[in-house]
Amino acid sequence: MDFQSIKTKCVHAGTLAEVPSQGTNSPIYTSTSYSYLDRGEVVYPRYFNIPNAEAVAAKIAALENTRAGLVLSSGMAAISSTLLAMLKTGDHALFQKGLYGGTFNMVSRELERFGISHTIVSENNPETFEKEIRSGTRLVYIETPSNPLLSITDIAAIVHIARKHNLISVIDNTFASPVNQNPADLGIDIVLHSATKYLGGHHDICAGAVAGPSELIERIKHMAVSLGGSLNAQTCYLLERSMKTLFVRVEAQNSNAGRLARWLCEQPGIGKVNYPGLERHPGHETAKKQMKGFGGMLSFELAKADPIQFQKKLKLIRPSVSLGGVDTIICSSVLTSHRHLTAEERKKEGITEQLLRLSVGIEDVNDLMEDLGQALG
């Protein structure tokens, strides 16, 4: 049965039938060895075809409105498998400005070793992307909202350029989640997620996901088999279970983040606030067109306070890495997601020492405001 509502997809899509006891949850298949005679295929965890991996892949595809999906061991496993599957020696790829630090590190330090050239555009507008296309350009990669500055790239405009020049279009949809944004509906070819974040949602699993057309997912799967980034059955089960509550979690995080962003704008100790739901955000109108909600992520700059001491004063909000969980956490991007960039590279991206990234959870927003307020002094 095909479900239309994302609420129902979150709960029911991909669930495995538990035949002996007729339980409502998918069973966990712990085997790493499966019979192969008369089967037609070899089932093995590294081949991404064990039952629990296929269940999660089906749910991810349903949530992103694509034909196929794939679940991997981390977000970077999803990103690296995709790029190496879609690109070969002599190819050129375009990347937006403001990439996640792990992606930037791979692109700037690893792709050249495979004979793959790249350009990171100076501005994330369609005209700049199109000007950088060469005869060997094969792929365009965007991330919107971006990490950690929450910049917005016009998905439909990038799709138009990609189709015009016969490029494969790829998006990292981690910050938005499938609840807030479905890039495939706008024509994007491949959708990536760090499933560690909103899909997992509880800071207790590490996983990645890819969604897209069957033929492209098969290409990525073949590369991923060689790279070995598979996910064990227990973690697949936890991810599937977590996605059952994805919609209700993200709805609460959207609401809290929107209220917090507006409150932070009024605080004297706060400088710039980055949140696409703010009318003053330069990408607000574009975000309204392509997003159903503005997300649970925001970032802000402290006007004068020391960012480390500020975080140490927090009592409820934890200074911690990662994002997308039910509890609110905060981090300095220069010390976490973008620590591998040089100071010059971070400056070019607009990531300052005073910048703090806030992953908003599902707590009472008034308690979060009180905690941030007392830390501000």
Angle between helices 246-265 and 365-376 (to 10 degrees): 40
pLDDT at 338: 80
- Per DSSP, helices labelled H in 65-125 are 75-86, 101-109
**pLDDT tens by residue, 50-103:** 999 999 999 999 999 999 999 999 999 999 999 999 999 999 999 999 999 889
197 labelled catalytic = yes
Q: Which of 154, 172, 189, 371 is catalytic?
A: 172
Q: Quote the percentage of the chain above a pLDDT of 70.
A: 99
pLDDT at 344: 84
| Alpha-carbon torsion, ordered 371, 372, 374, 377, to 10 deg | 170
Residues sharing a CB contact under 8 Å with residue 89, sequence separation 6 or more, in sequence order: 114, 115, 116
Of 6-10, 80-84, 156-160, 338-342, the one with minimum mean pLDDT is: 338-342
pLDDT at 38: 85
In order of 42, 82, 222, the CA distances from 229 in angstroms are 18, 12, 11
pLDDT at 274: 98
In order of 59, 305, 313, 360, the CA distances from 268 in angstroms are 44, 11, 17, 21
Q: Which of 34, 44, 46, 272 is catalytic?
A: 46
In order of 134, 157, 160, 332, 364, the CA distances from 129 in angstroms are 11, 10, 11, 29, 41
Q: Which of 9, 59, 138, 197 is catalytic?
A: 197
172 labelled catalytic = yes
Of 33-42, 257-266, 359-368, the one with minimum mean pLDDT is: 33-42
Tokens of 58: 């089906």
46 labelled catalytic = yes
pLDDT at 1: 59
**pLDDT tens by residue, 176-210:** 999 999 999 999 999 999 999 999 999 999 999 99
For the chain, which domains are there?
6-243 (3.40.640.10), 246-376 (3.90.1150.10)
**pLDDT tens by residue, 295-323:** 999 999 999 999 999 999 999 999 999 99
Q: Is the pLDDT of residue 231 over 80?
A: yes
Per the prediction, the chain carries an average pLDDT of 95
pLDDT at 101: 86
Q: Which of 59, 91, 97, 100 is catalytic?
A: 100
Q: Is the pLDDT of residue 17 over 90?
A: no
3-state helix, strand, coil in the chain (%, to 5): 40, 15, 45
Q: Are strands 168-172 and 137-143 parallel, antiparallel or unpaired?
A: parallel
For residues 256 and 366, give the distance between their C-alpha atoms in angstroms, rounded to a whole number: 9
pTM to 2 decimals?
0.96
DSSP code for 41: S
| Preceding omega of 268 cis (within 30 degrees of 0) | no
| Alpha-carbon torsion, ordered 100, 178, 230, 223, to 10 deg | -70
For residues 267 and 38, give the distance between their C-alpha atoms in angstroms, rounded to a whole number: 68
